[in-house]
Amino acid sequence: MSGVDPDTTPDSGEPGTLGRGCQSADRDPPLRWRRAPERPAASPGHVHVWQIDLDSDAQPTDNLEALLCDEERARAARFVHAHHRRRFAVRRAALRTILGRYLNTEPGALRFVVGPHGKPALAGAASSSGIRFNVSHSDRLALIAVAHSREVGIDIERIRPDVHLHDIARRFLGPAAAQALLALPPKDQPPAFMRCWCSKEACVKALGVGLAAGQDVLEAAMLPDSLLAALRAPGWTVESDRWSVSALEIDTGFVAVLAVEGRDYTLAAFRYQTPGVPEGD
Amino acid sequence: MLQTPAEWTREITGKAPPHLTFDTDLTRDLALDSLALAESGARVRLRCEVHLRASELSNALKVGVIIDLVQDKRGHTPA
């Protein structure tokens, strides 16, 4: 990435190092999550990440679901636990509201299509806007990445100490990353595993492929380098001519990774506020 | 037959699924994300001593499909 928005850069960090022909960018200053502009603009040189607290929206679920299409309402109704339905409605309503701001379109008017591995994209008239987006959620937080004319993938996970990380790492992260993970002190393994998992998820989501994608596909998106970087430190960026993969600073207890097609962009991060609700700070 | 999936689902989500059936969809009904699906594979391996490949887990989104996979690999009903 070229940098983070200069209005949001309180500190500077240390540069990182990587092997395998992959460049490690000078570590960018930490992101500051700031209030969103009323009418955000998408452009090829910028990538925006929005953070949504799924439990803070005070709107009744019925009001949120009024923004959704029939299929989304049906999906919401299927969840067996009420809080999953609620969080789904908040997330989808926020996605529509945010994309509607970029497109100057009513949230309920947006239509989506889904790729073969579940990656959503804008459909209809908005499909020619150049806007690409990706969504991830874990527990009470959701992230939405918005870009223009480039693919993005994002993943967030709440750090859980009880995950069977050894088994999952061996099967999903590959032998090198799994071995390196297991060599870490036990207390460092859960957050390192979560950073690796987020890296893989962000990469496969940017590519629009499934978790079982072939190693050649993943290597093209620098996944092995990203995994090794993720094992080493909470904050990192790896770049090639085709992809940039970066850790995002986020609330304690969560990890998040952003994968972006290309490397020349500026990143800005916003906290989503429910329309009509005054912002607390 | 549904007891084992009910147990590992409860362990992963922290809540007992109220009406688990063969048609219960792990993502659409129980809101399991991809990590939780991978975790399901780990729990199946521990409880049933059956290894499910990543590609199999990616397609096994319904409880009945996982049970079928386990049965196919073991040749009998999961314990």
Domain ranges in chain A are: 30-271
B32 domain-assigned: yes
Query: Residues A260, A155: contact at Cβ < 8 Å?
Result: no
Confidence class for position A217, pLDDT limits 50, 70, 90: low
* Interface test with chain A among B20, B32, B34, B47, by most A beta carbons within 10 Å: B34
The residue range of the domain holding B46 is 3-74
B53 domain-assigned: yes
Position with higher pLDDT, A101 vs A227: A101
Q: What is the mean pLDDT of residues A66-89?
A: 93
B55 domain-assigned: yes
B24 domain-assigned: yes
Model confidence at A145: pLDDT above 60: yes
Six-digit token string for A268:
């800005």
Task: Please name which of B26, B3, B20, B22 lies closest in space to residue B79, comparing C-alpha atoms.
Answer: B3
Query: What pLDDT is recorded for position A214?
Result: 58
Instruction: Write the secondary structure of chain B as one string of H (helix), E (strand) and C (coil).
Output: CCHHHHHHHHHHHCCCCCCCCCCCECCCCCCCCHHHHHHHHHHHHHHHCCCCCHHHHHHCCEHHHHHHHHHHHHCCCCC
Task: Quote the minimal CA–CA distance from A84 to chain B in Å.
Answer: 7
pTM, to two decimals: 0.85
Under CATH, to which class is A30-271 assigned? alpha beta
Query: What pLDDT is recorded for position A138?
Result: 94
Confidence class for position A3, pLDDT limits 50, 70, 90: confident
Query: Residues A154, A258: contact at Cβ < 8 Å?
Result: yes
The full DSSP string for A44-73 is TTEEEEEEEETTT--S-HHHHHTTS-HHHH
Q: What is the mean pLDDT of residues A50-78?
A: 92
Query: Which residues 133-152 on chain A approach chain B with CB closer than 8 angstroms?
Result: 137-138
In this complex, which of B25, B33, B39 lies closest to A168 when CB atoms are compared?
Answer: B39
In this complex, which of A78, A164, A212 lies closest to B54 when CB atoms are compared?
Answer: A212
Query: Residues A186, A195: contact at Cβ < 8 Å?
Result: no
Position with higher pLDDT, A239 vs A108: A108
Report the residue count for chain A.
281
CB-based contact, A217 to chain B, within 8 Å: no
Residues on chain B touching A78 (C-beta within 8 angstroms): 25, 28-29
End-to-end CA distance of chain A: 28
Model confidence at A26: pLDDT above 70: no
Strands A266-271 and A3-4 come out as parallel
Model confidence at B78: pLDDT above 50: no
Six-digit token string for A216:
């050649």
**Beta strands in A54-172, from DSSP E residues, in sequence order:** 111-114, 120-123, 131-138, 141-148, 152-158
H/E stretch holding A83 reads: helix A82-103
State the CATH number of the domain containing residue B66: 1.10.1200.10
Give the Å distances, CA to CA, from B49 to A173, B61, B73: 21, 20, 10
Confidence class for position A113, pLDDT limits 50, 70, 90: very high
Residues on chain A touching B39 (C-beta within 8 angstroms): 163-164, 168
> Looking at A45-49, A73-77, A174-178, A209-213, which range is the least confident one?
A209-213
Q: What's the domain count of chain B? A: 1
Query: What pLDDT is recorded for position A70?
Result: 96
Task: Quote the minimal CA–CA distance from B66 to chain A in Å.
Answer: 17
**pLDDT 10s digits, B25-69:** 988 898 888 888 888 888 888 888 888 877 777 777 888 888 888
Contacts of A88 by beta carbon, 8 Å cutoff, 6+ apart: A75, A76, A79, B31
B7 domain-assigned: yes
Task: Quote the minimal CA–CA distance from A45 to chain B in Å.
Answer: 31
Task: Quote the minimal CA–CA distance from A138 to chain B in Å.
Answer: 8
Hey, are the CB atoms on A211 and B58 less than 8 Å from each other? yes
B79 domain-assigned: no
